[in-house]
């Protein structure tokens, strides 16, 4: 067990830093530091393509799909430099961090060849179709149905149903989704993991305005939407296993990029506390120190998680990671409000535009909900890491 980087890795760091600096002080100056998910969309889509062309989009992927076969240390370095340079949040993150790794791991060669290079190149964007109005924490209760039909273009899945909380669907060409493909099945059995094109008459979006005032997520309606039979990842009926695999990728290298965003938020908070004198308040000092501790812990928990093998059941450091960061960030939002005082309540501009920290306070309320609420996380930790009995169900 050791920290620290080799001279070759430090050289790689300089290479990343130089490229990022050149781009972000040049053509992409305007989106340096952009954090909101739906701000400056055109330029950020262009940024994704530039990252792709220069092979900085998915450096951990194999070269043949647009990556660099980068080592863990190199991925850590890139994430650090990306944040240090103030590069914008990734518009393509659902493809890069979830769809791509899932297809890489569970897909077949044809699917890899078809989808991965386009994700890497920033040419196709993805969204995630998991939750439904009646399948939230109880995700296996999904009702969206898909059936195989012979059409003019060969065998196709025909999909009917509704997904919700679908982030960035308005910019996506594709959705990865779990659908019930075995009529009469219940729970995790009988689900399939389908890749579905968004631009077709059978798919309708309705934006949802959320707590921050932004419209970042959507309802997605499938009314006879179609996708080729071969765009099922894993075997039909094995969708649950694949979907859980995707959730595990949320604990992958992408956590490093997320932490870098957190670090930037923390530094903004410290700057604000020093500027307005809150940094002299002994209780605020304790809480800032606590937040700093959490930030460090996340870094080293992530490194433990990533350095361990990927085989078999998730180890405890991976099972406890989500609730840790979510709770940390929610607390950071509360601390930011206490540091800023009543000034945080006043919008920067109409209709409802707030500075980064107050907006983060609002946005952080979703952290302890999405990708498994804190309550669901505690069940998972207790059952899988501590071996306590599973929750009884009321319906089976």
Partner 1 sequence: MQFAFTPEQEMIREAAREFVAGHGSSTHLRAVLAGAQGYDPQSWQALAVELGWTGLALPENVGGGGLGAVELAILLEETGRRLFMSPLFATSGLATALLCECAAPAQQERWLRPIAAGACIATAALTGDSGRPEAIGMTLTPDGGGGGRLDGHASFVLYGDVSDLVLIAARTQGQAGDEATTLVVLPRGTAGCTAARLVTMDPTRPYARLCCAGVRVGPDAIIGGIGQAGTALARGLQIAQIAFAAEQLGGAFGALEMTVEYARQRVQFGRVIGSFQAVKHRLADLLVACEAAKSAVCYAACMVDEYRAGTATAQELAEAAALVQSCCSEAFMQCGANAIQLHGGIGFTWEHDAQLYFKRARSALTYLGTPDWHRERIARLIGLDDPPPAAAGDGR
Looking at 316, 362, 365, 369, which residue binds partner 1 (CB under 8 A)? 316
The CA distance from 220 to 83, in Å, is 32
Name the minimum Å distance from CB 350 to partner 1.
16
Q: Is 387 in the site for partner 1 (CB under 8 A)?
A: yes
Taking CB under 8 A as the criterion, which residues in 219-248 touch partner 1?
A: none
Name the minimum Å distance from CB 358 to partner 1.
7
The CA distance from 163 to 166, in Å, is 7
For the question of residue 214 being annotated catalytic, the response is: no
Looking at 104, 116, 139, 272, which residue binds partner 1 (CB under 8 A)? 272
Comparing C-alpha atoms, which of 16, 17, 42 is closest to residue 30? 42
Q: Which two tokens stand for residue 311?
A: 């085989």
Q: Is 371 in the site for partner 1 (CB under 8 A)?
A: no
The CA distance from 103 to 226, in Å, is 19
Name the minimum Å distance from CB 327 to partner 1.
8
The CA distance from 160 to 224, in Å, is 5
Comparing C-alpha atoms, which of 195, 84, 177, 85 is closest to residue 132? 177
Name the minimum Å distance from CB 248 to partner 1.
17
Looking at 126, 317, 359, 364, which residue binds partner 1 (CB under 8 A)? 317
Number of CB atoms found within 10 A of residue 109's CB: 7
Comparing C-alpha atoms, which of 373, 384, 270 is closest to residue 327? 373
Comparing C-alpha atoms, which of 175, 154, 157 is closest to residue 166? 175
Considering only the stretches 21-29, 139-147, 218-226, 277-285, report the one whose residues sit in contact with partner 1 under the rule CB under 8 A.
277-285
DSSP string, 8-57: HHHHHHHHHHHHHHHHHHTTTGGGTT--STTSSHHHHHHHHHHHHHTT-S
Q: Is 293 in the site for partner 1 (CB under 8 A)?
A: yes
Site mask, partner 1, residues 24-63, x = CB under 8 A? ----------------------------------------
Q: Which two tokens stand for residue 56?
A: 């900085």
Q: Residue 160 in contact with residue 201, Cβ under 8 Å?
A: no
Give residues with Cβ within 8 angstroms of 155, minimum separation 6: 148, 149, 228, 229
Looking at 113, 204, 289, 352, which residue binds partner 1 (CB under 8 A)? 289
Looking at 186, 206, 209, 285, which residue binds partner 1 (CB under 8 A)? 285
The CA distance from 365 to 339, in Å, is 18
Q: Is 271 in the site for partner 1 (CB under 8 A)?
A: yes
Nearer to partner 1, 109 or 311 (CB): 311
Q: Is 8 in the site for partner 1 (CB under 8 A)?
A: no
Looking at 14, 292, 310, 352, which residue binds partner 1 (CB under 8 A)? 292
Known catalytic residues are: 250
Residues that bind partner 1 (CB under 8 A): 1-5, 9, 72-73, 76, 268, 270-276, 279, 282, 285-286, 288-290, 292-294, 296-297, 299-301, 303-304, 306-308, 316-317, 320, 323-324, 339-341, 343-344, 346, 355, 357-358, 375, 377-379, 381-383, 385-389, 391-392
């Amino acid at each position: 067990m050791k920290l620290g980087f080799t001279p070759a890795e430090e050289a790689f760091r300089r290479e990343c830093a130089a490229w990022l600096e050149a781009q972000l002080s040049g053509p992409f100056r305007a989106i340096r530091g952009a954090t909101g998910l739906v701000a400056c969309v055109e330029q950020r889509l262009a940024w994704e393509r530039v990252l792709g062309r220069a092979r900085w989009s998915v450096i951990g992927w194999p070269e043949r799909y647009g990556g660099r076969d980068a080592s863990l240390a190199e991925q850590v370095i890139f994430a650090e430099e990306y944040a240090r340079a103030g590069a914008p949040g990734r518009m393509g993150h659902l493809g890069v961090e979830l769809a791509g790794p899932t297809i890489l791991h569970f897909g077949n060669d044809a699917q890899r060849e078809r989808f991965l290079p386009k994700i890497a190149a920033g040419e196709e964007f993805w969204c995630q179709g998991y939750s439904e109005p009646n399948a939230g924490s109880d995700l296996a209760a999904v009702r969206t149905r898909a059936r195989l039909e012979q059409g003019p273009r060969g065998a196709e899945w025909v999909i009917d149903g509704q997904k919700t909380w679908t982030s960035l669907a308005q910019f996506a060409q594709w959705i990865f989704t779990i659908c019930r493909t075995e009529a009469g099945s219940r729970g995790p059995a009988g689900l399939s993991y389908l890749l579905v094109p968004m631009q077709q008459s059978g798919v309708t979006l309705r934006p949802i305005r959320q707590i921050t005032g932004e419209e970042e997520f959507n309802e997605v309606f499938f009314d006879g939407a179609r996708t080729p039979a071969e765009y099922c990842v894993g075997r039909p009926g094995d969708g649950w296993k694949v979907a859980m695999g995707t959730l595990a990728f949320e604990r992958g290298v992408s956590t490093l990029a997320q932490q870098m965003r957190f670090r930037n938020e923390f530094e903004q908070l410290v700057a604000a506390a020093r500027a307005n004198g809150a940094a002299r308040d002994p209780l605020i000092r304790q809480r800032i120190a606590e937040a700093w501790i959490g930030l460090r812990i996340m870094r080293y928990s992530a490194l433990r998680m990533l350095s361990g093998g990927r085989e078999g059941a998730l180890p405890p450091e991976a099972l406890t990671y989500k609730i840790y960061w979510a709770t940390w960030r929610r607390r950071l939002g509360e601390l930011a409000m206490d540091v800023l005082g009543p000034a945080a309540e006043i919008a920067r501009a109409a209709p409802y535009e707030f500075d980064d920290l107050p907006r983060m306070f609002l946005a952080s309320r979703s952290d302890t909900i999405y990708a498994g609420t804190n309550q669901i996380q505690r069940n998972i930790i207790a059952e899988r890491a501590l071996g306590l009995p599973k929750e009884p169900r009321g319906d089976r």
